[in-house]
């Protein structure tokens, strides 16, 4: 159980969990001390989140329904996202500069009808109204498809870098498992999944080749995460309980 997390420069407690309920009690801005994130310890519902500079409430949840009632732009006060409080469906989201509707849901079917690029009013994401499957998503500059789903299986077939055309993320259409993710410049694998277990086998730093994140393929436990410059272990999990044993500052090795 994480008891506390402190800012390493000031020692200020910026995140505390109730050890009995595992609920975040408070999170404060380390510069001002303003509470920017509070949860009701009985319901685990976020009561409020305020902008630390203005104190304006930018996200409020109804404590009974957990529905976001409003979110406003802190500079203009414009409502940029409002769900219907009865259905929890986002009715509209508008660009705060132009007022253009860039995302609308059909309140009956909850299907995204369209999402527009506000400069060209070009469709960049459409859902099939019958299957709710994303048909295509195109790069707004060149029209190239950067993410396509098989309309029958809803599986992403490929995602390519729009500049090079290199496949940077591929899913096995039968298992929906990511086979590989490569750096688009070097081709080095930076994230690989075992296609049988769906477990991440390794992730390497693309400059040094150092493994910075490894999972035990049998129990899916994080074995180690090291700082790529120093090799210092900064996050370790105990195999049997999956509890974080320690996190150390990479410069001082002090447990924080």
Report the percent of the chain where pLDDT is more than 70: 0
What pLDDT was estimated at residue 220?
Answer: 43
**CA angle (177, 182, 188) in 5-degree steps:** 130
Tokens 């986002």 belong to which residue?
90
pLDDT digits (tens, 9 = 90+) for 214-243: 444 344 444 444 443 444 444 443 333 334
What pLDDT was estimated at residue 148?
Answer: 46
252 pLDDT tier (thresholds 50, 70, 90): very low
What pLDDT was estimated at residue 136?
Answer: 42
What pLDDT was estimated at residue 190?
Answer: 46
pLDDT digits (tens, 9 = 90+) for 199-212: 444 444 434 444 44
pLDDT digits (tens, 9 = 90+) for 113-167: 444 333 333 344 444 334 333 444 444 344 344 444 433 444 444 444 434 444 4
Q: 28: which strand partners?
A: 35
- What are the residue boundaries of the structural domains of the chain, listed by start? 1-54
What pLDDT was estimated at residue 72?
Answer: 44
What pLDDT was estimated at residue 135?
Answer: 40
C-alpha dist (Å) from residue 103 to 81, 100, 141, 144, 148: 10, 9, 19, 21, 19
What pLDDT was estimated at residue 35?
Answer: 46
pLDDT digits (tens, 9 = 90+) for 7-35: 444 444 444 444 444 444 444 444 444 44
Q: What are phi and psi of 88, to 5 degrees?
A: 65, 20
Mean pLDDT value across residues 166-185: 42
Q: What is the DSSP letter of 249?
A: -
Q: Are 202 and 192 in contact (CB under 8 A)?
A: yes
C-alpha dist (Å) from residue 143 to 103, 133, 136, 150, 206: 19, 19, 10, 19, 29
Report the percent of the chain where pLDDT is more than 90: 0
What pLDDT was estimated at residue 149?
Answer: 42
Average pLDDT, rounded, for the chain: 43
75 pLDDT tier (thresholds 50, 70, 90): very low
What pLDDT was estimated at residue 19?
Answer: 42
């Amino acid at each position: 159980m994480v008891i506390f997390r402190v800012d390493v420069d000031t020692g200020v407690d910026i995140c505390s969990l109730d050890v009995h309920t595992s609920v975040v009690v408070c999170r404060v801005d380390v510069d001002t001390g303003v509470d920017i994130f509070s949860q009701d310890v009985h319901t685990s519902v976020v009561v409020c989140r305020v902008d630390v500079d203005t104190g304006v409430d930018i996200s409020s949840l109804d404590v009974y329904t957990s529905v976001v009632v409003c979110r406003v732009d802190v500079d203009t006060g414009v409502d940029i996202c409002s769900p219907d409080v009865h259905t929890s469906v986002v009715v509209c989201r508008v660009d705060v500069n132009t007022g253009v509707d860039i995302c609308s849901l059909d309140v009956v079917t909850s299907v995204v009808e369209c999402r527009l690029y506000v400069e060209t009013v070009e469709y960049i994401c459409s859902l099939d109204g019958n299957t709710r499957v994303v048909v295509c998503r195109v790069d707004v500059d060149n029209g190239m498809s950067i993410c396509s789903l098989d309309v029958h299986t809803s599986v992403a077939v490929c995602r390519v870098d729009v500049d090079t055309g290199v496949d940077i993320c591929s899913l096995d259409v039968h298992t929906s498992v990511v086979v590989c993710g490569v750096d688009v410049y070097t081709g080095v694998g930076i994230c690989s999944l075992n296609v049988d277990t769906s477990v991440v086998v390794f992730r390497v730093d693309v400059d040094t080749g150092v493994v910075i994140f490894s999972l035990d393929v049998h129990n899916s436990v994080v074995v180690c995460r090291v700082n790529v410059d120093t090799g210092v272990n900064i996050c370790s999990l105990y195999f049997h309980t999956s509890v974080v044993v320690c996190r150390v500052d990479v410069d001082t090795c002090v447990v924080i």
